[in-house]
Structure 1
Amino acid sequence: MPPFYPEFFRGAGWILPLVVTVVGGVLRFWNLVWPNSLIFDETYYAKDAWSMYVYGWEHSWVDSNTANPKLVGPGTMGHNGAASFNCNPCQEFVAHPPVGKWVIGAGEQFWGLNPVGWRLMEALLGTLAIYIIARAARRMFRSTLMGCVAGLLLAFDGLAFVMARTALLDGVQMFFILGGFAALLVDRDKARARLADWREERGSGVLLGMGERGPGLGLRPWRLVAGLSLGLATATKWNGVFFVAVFALLSVAWDRGARRAVGVRRPSLAVLLRDVPRAFVALPVTAVFVFVASYAGWFFDTANGGGYNRFWANAHPSNFWPTWTDPLRSLWNYVDQQYGFNANLQSPHPYQSNPWSWFVLGRPVAFYYEAPKTGQQGCTPSMGSCSAEVLALGNPLLWWLATAAIVFLFWRWIGRRDWRAAAILAGIAAGVVPWLWYAQRTIFSFYAIAFLPFMVLGATMAIGSILGRADASPTRRVWGSAVAGTLVVGIVALFAYFYPIYTGQTIPYTDWSNHMWLPSWI
């Protein structure tokens, strides 16, 4: 790895990642209105998000007052943006917690119930994620150059791009997972700095009276920020709980390594006594608190009968739990139903895939596909047959490079005890390993967005190794720069090549077919 490159100029570590972020943001916000309709599962989340701000919980959009019940939606809204929920009863079972819908709904409240409105927050969070990963990579690799590379890779990944322009929950969850990881990186550095200061004072003859355990590290606000962010991730989709567990263990492992580095003789015992209790409160406990708090609208807004399952406990009294716990018992039953639904969903779907195939982009999901006729949507006679598609396809060069880099990461972790490689592998494992247990379930490749930042960090670490150390020979640096630069330019170029099928542009069918590199992409 090239860990120590000098700054390009004062403030470069903040300004250059911001430049990369602006580039990625322009791409994400440009023509956000297209496709000008609900695509794929936006039909659920855009509507649920709107009802969250009207009722505090997901309201049914089925008109049961007609002989032929149908979904009413954004196309039926009046000019004032008011929704008409004609249903009886209006409670609706939903499979996911509320935070992602609260986030999507914030954009609708600002811009209205239209394509830009329900995609606005996705684009904003997708843009901010570029800056966060650039800063996180800079902190990990101690290199502004590597931070900018990580930001560029995320900015020009097709899956990240499409998810930032589609009102689904997964892009929101990715942002909170990445935010939690970045906060833990800051916490790691600050904790090590405190221990280093203690060691320096101890070495100068000032003993702090902490014996072999080392000092307590006091308030650690960044670890609490991580707990809040990971709690929001879990309150967006249930699989966020695996990131909470993995990152809690990772943070404690970092504490053990830090205490050992400053000479604590029994670091494991020291961490168990001094760090684990506070880490437990800051991460899992905080995440649970955030998860429960995310149902505030469901708890307190009981108009029109309340949300789904809100009064379940009233009909199922307990001889053990006091009555004031009834709302929590109702929520527990609801969450248990959600888990059962998610764990056992096995409805066949043409775009379902096995988690192993995600790494090689085996079966991307088409969010939108139309075959415009001549004279429609820009289809001209010279084009012949036309196609327009939004395909949630990762950048092939980036994903295949990152997949190959997993072997390199294992080598760095096992052979060199590189904490960065271990952290990246932990993030990838938290995102994909649980789905292997549920492989029989109906699952989709765009779920991989949750661990995409760690694939990007893995690819960045590999590119840094190819680039070479700052003190390498001139010949080594020239060849390393040429190969690393070619990879980055190639990723950007491939994004430009696939751009039409990321954005639903109307292109000749033959051109569309040329973009389908694998039969499974069709």
Structure 2
Amino acid sequence: MPSVVLAPRLRRHLAWLTPLGVTLLAAALRFWNLAHPHAIVFDETYYVKEGWTQWVLGYPAKWPDDANERFAAGETDIFLDKPAFIVHPPLGKFFIGAGMALFGADSSFGWRVAVAVFGTATVLVLYFLARTVSGSTAVATAAAGMLAIDGLGIVMSRVALLDGILTFFVVLAVWFVALDRAGHASRLAAAVVWPDDGRPLMWGPVLWNRPWLLAAGAAAGAATGVKWSGVWTLAGLGLYVVVSDALTRRRLGIWLWPTDAAFRQGVVSFLLMVPAAAVVYVTTWTGWFLTDGGYNRQSRDTALASFVHNHLAMYGSASSITSAHSYASPAWQWPLLMRPTSMWAHSTENGVDGCAGGERGCLEILYSMPNPLLWYAAVAASVWLLARVLIHGEGRYAPVLVAIGSGWLPWLIYAERTVFQFYTIVVWPFMLIALAVAMRALATHPDPHRRRTGRRLVVVFAVVAVLLAVAWYPLWSAMQVPFWFYRLHNWLPGWV
């Protein structure tokens, strides 16, 4: 009898203890020594300073040429009275500026705290998304746990770039769509009214009461307010909602299901998602509208005309970024993990600052490198999951695949644009869901012998993944390591 009472209680405790534990682990790995290095690294040169003036002025301003060193030294008020031309919307920089306002603009912890908060929160939202689409606490724990200890997730939560904040809102939008999908089929079936005379049902009901679609549109609008690439998520999810609804109507026997889904329910879904996204996106520009000093703010007779003109200029600049960069990696290379990005590196001579690295000295590096075992396994698992959805009709995982496609495929179009491997942080959480689902398939195979073998493989895989995370963490957190230790991690020519 006690065991019967204990099991439900234990399940209830695990329902909140598991996501809490995974999130706390993610927070520990992201917030530990977050202020190091006290230097503006990689593209922080844009977002730290722009974030501060975004907060102070309501729009980004220009800075002197030597501003990075002076800003890090505490001269945070040396921005000029001229607006800066930007290629990304304000929301992400507003959050970065808010962290600086809270902890001090001269604090490198303040520069990065917002990104660390969003990176940690992404782990939690990923847990709930994975549980929604899989119905499994084990899959949710595995997916969120892998992101918690992975290097790409850790580093993109430790540098003040926009991509980690973008990822949070993308995962949030996909979760909301998954929540909508979870009950849509039953609600649609319950609302169908069949003809009494036996005639075929030509049209199905049109459902307006879909609050999760409204929330998904708002989240996608926020993602677009961080970086324009968030609009690809909105487009992909919108297409998914229409196709999913069409297939549901076909299963219900609605005669004109394609037209019904596209031109009746599809219009309603559009009206639920897109205006919400647009309102949120335009709201992110509040500082630009309420002040007169923003770039192009006075370029036309009205604020709206100036807004449109500024966006055309932003698009022209953003779409033509083709400058050479030693860490550039075109999108076709991303699955191969050929050129991860070093965000910052600092070498120290032997015997200086506690360095005992031998002849070559020591190195500190922030290396946005995913756990290589997880990465290659997740790429394979994503292809496997695509086959499962297409061949076996496991549509509950379709939002995961849509998110992967929306975050990767559009970059293939911009083949000449300068892009980086760390852009994959937007698709990485969804790839980890695919990997977690594949691991569960191995561990729960119907054949007893293959099930035992699969479980052993999963255990070995998990142990090796954790050991690799321990071995790579010094390079993900800018710890001082001997140069020979760093060289042990250069497995491929591009991994430098």
TM-score w.r.t. the length of structure 1 is 0.88
| Alignment pair present for 1:100 and 2:66 | no
2: distance between equivalents of 1:186 and 1:512? 44
2: distance between equivalents of 1:340 and 1:155? 37
Superposed displacement of residue 364, structure 1: 0.7
| 1:218 equivalent in structure 2 | 208
Task: Decide whether the 8 Å contact of 1:21 with 1:155 is kept in 2.
Answer: yes
2: distance between equivalents of 1:51 and 1:70? 13
1: distance between equivalents of 2:69 and 2:290? 26
Specify whether residues 521 and 443 from structure 1 end up closer, same or farther in structure 2 by C-alpha distance, changes over 3 A only: same
Specify whether residues 381 and 71 from structure 1 end up closer, same or farther in structure 2 by C-alpha distance, changes over 3 A only: closer
1: distance between equivalents of 2:257 and 2:458? 39
| 1:299 equivalent in structure 2 | 289
Superposed displacement of residue 178, structure 1: 0.5
| 2:151 equivalent in structure 1 | 158
Alignment partner of 2:74 out of 64, 74, 77: 77
Alignment partner of 1:481 out of 451, 455, 459: 455
Superposed displacement of residue 375, structure 1: 4.1
| 2:64 equivalent in structure 1 | 62
Q: Which amino acid aligns with 2:30?
A: R
Which deviates more from structure 2 when the two are superposed, residues 345-354 or residues 11-20? 11-20
Gaps of 5+ in 1: 1-5, 64-68, 315-325
Q: Which amino acid aligns with 1:121?
A: A
1: distance between equivalents of 2:137 and 2:341? 35
Q: Which amino acid aligns with 2:299?
A: W
| 2:103 equivalent in structure 1 | 111
Specify whether residues 381 and 167 from structure 1 end up closer, same or farther in structure 2 by C-alpha distance, changes over 3 A only: closer
Identity of counterpart residues, as a percentage?
A: 34
Q: Could you say what secondary structure the match of 1:147 adopts?
A: helix
Q: Which amino acid aligns with 1:465?
A: A
Specify whether residues 36 and 196 from structure 1 end up closer, same or farther in structure 2 by C-alpha distance, changes over 3 A only: same
Superposed displacement of residue 76, structure 1: 4.8
2: distance between equivalents of 1:72 and 1:491? 38
Q: Could you say what secondary structure the match of 1:344 adopts?
A: coil
2: distance between equivalents of 1:468 and 1:236? 40
Q: Could you say what secondary structure the match of 1:84 adopts?
A: coil
Superposed displacement of residue 149, structure 1: 0.7
Task: Decide whether the 8 Å contact of 1:156 with 1:491 is kept in 2.
Answer: no
| 2:371 equivalent in structure 1 | 395
Superposed displacement of residue 490, structure 1: 2.2
TM-score w.r.t. the length of structure 2 is 0.92
Alignment partner of 1:129 out of 122, 133, 136: 122
Q: Could you say what secondary structure the match of 1:93 adopts?
A: coil
| Pairing 1:352-501 to 2, within 5 Å after superposition | 352-380=328-356, 385-469=361-445, 472-501=446-475
Task: Decide whether the 8 Å contact of 2:130 with 2:139 is kept in 1.
Answer: yes
Task: Decide whether the 8 Å contact of 1:180 with 1:229 is kept in 2.
Answer: yes
Specify whether residues 307 and 478 from structure 1 end up closer, same or farther in structure 2 by C-alpha distance, changes over 3 A only: same
Task: Decide whether the 8 Å contact of 2:39 with 2:72 is kept in 1.
Answer: no
CA RMSD of aligned residues (A): 2.4
Q: Could you say what secondary structure the match of 1:9 adopts?
A: helix
| Alignment pair present for 1:12 and 2:9 | no
| Pairing 1:329-344 to 2, within 5 Å after superposition | 329-344=305-320
| Alignment pair present for 1:327 and 2:303 | yes
Task: Decide whether the 8 Å contact of 2:220 with 2:277 is kept in 1.
Answer: yes
Specify whether residues 227 and 342 from structure 1 end up closer, same or farther in structure 2 by C-alpha distance, changes over 3 A only: same
Superposed displacement of residue 250, structure 1: 0.6
Q: Could you say what secondary structure the match of 2:417 adopts?
A: coil
Q: Could you say what secondary structure the match of 1:151 adopts?
A: helix
Which deviates more from structure 2 when the two are superposed, residues 497-506 or residues 31-40? 31-40
Task: Decide whether the 8 Å contact of 1:183 with 1:222 is kept in 2.
Answer: yes
Q: Could you say what secondary structure the match of 1:352 adopts?
A: coil
Alignment partner of 2:52 out of 50, 53, 60: 50
1: distance between equivalents of 2:448 and 2:141? 23
Superposed displacement of residue 43, structure 1: 1.7
Q: Which amino acid aligns with 1:41?
A: D
| Alignment pair present for 1:279 and 2:261 | no
| 1:270 equivalent in structure 2 | 260
Superposed displacement of residue 264, structure 1: 2.9
| 2:224 equivalent in structure 1 | 234
Q: Which amino acid aligns with 1:507?
A: V
Q: Deviations over 1:237-272 (max 9, x none)?
A: 111111111110111222223333344333223223
1: distance between equivalents of 2:233 and 2:70? 34
Specify whether residues 45 and 154 from structure 1 end up closer, same or farther in structure 2 by C-alpha distance, changes over 3 A only: same
| 1:318 equivalent in structure 2 | none
Q: Could you say what secondary structure the match of 2:300 adopts?
A: helix
Superposed displacement of residue 70, structure 1: 5.2
Q: Deviations over 1:59-114 (max 9, x none)?
A: 11227xxxxx7557533536xxxx42352x51110111111101111211211111
Task: Decide whether the 8 Å contact of 2:40 with 2:72 is kept in 1.
Answer: no
| 1:319 equivalent in structure 2 | none
Alignment partner of 2:242 out of 252, 256, 263: 252
Superposed displacement of residue 40, structure 1: 1.0
Q: Which amino acid aligns with 2:474?
A: P
Superposed displacement of residue 372, structure 1: 1.1
2: distance between equivalents of 1:192 and 1:115? 49
Q: Which amino acid aligns with 1:450?
A: V
Q: Could you say what secondary structure the match of 1:109 adopts?
A: helix
| 1:24 equivalent in structure 2 | 26
Task: Decide whether the 8 Å contact of 1:153 with 1:488 is kept in 2.
Answer: no
Alignment partner of 2:297 out of 310, 330, 337: 310
Q: Which amino acid aligns with 2:88?
A: H
Task: Decide whether the 8 Å contact of 2:174 with 2:399 is kept in 1.
Answer: no
Q: Could you say what secondary structure the match of 2:365 adopts?
A: strand
Superposed displacement of residue 481, structure 1: 1.4
Give the total of aligned pairs.
487
2: distance between equivalents of 1:70 and 1:269? 58
Q: Deviations over 1:211-255 (max 9, x none)?
A: 543333232211111111111111111111111111101112222
2: distance between equivalents of 1:243 and 1:86? 35
Q: Which amino acid aligns with 2:385?
A: L
Superposed displacement of residue 295, structure 1: 1.0
Task: Decide whether the 8 Å contact of 2:174 with 2:400 is kept in 1.
Answer: no
Task: Decide whether the 8 Å contact of 2:382 with 2:434 is kept in 1.
Answer: yes
Task: Decide whether the 8 Å contact of 1:383 with 1:508 is kept in 2.
Answer: no
1: distance between equivalents of 2:203 and 2:229? 35
| 2:4 equivalent in structure 1 | none
Gaps of 5+ in 2: 1-6
Q: Could you say what secondary structure the match of 2:305 adopts?
A: helix
Task: Decide whether the 8 Å contact of 2:371 with 2:469 is kept in 1.
Answer: yes
Task: Decide whether the 8 Å contact of 1:13 with 1:135 is kept in 2.
Answer: no
Q: Deviations over 1:450-509 (max 9, x none)?
A: 11122112212221221225xx34433322211122222222221111001101111111
Runs of 4+ with >4 A deviation: 69-73, 381-384
Superposed displacement of residue 143, structure 1: 0.8
Task: Decide whether the 8 Å contact of 1:377 with 1:506 is kept in 2.
Answer: no
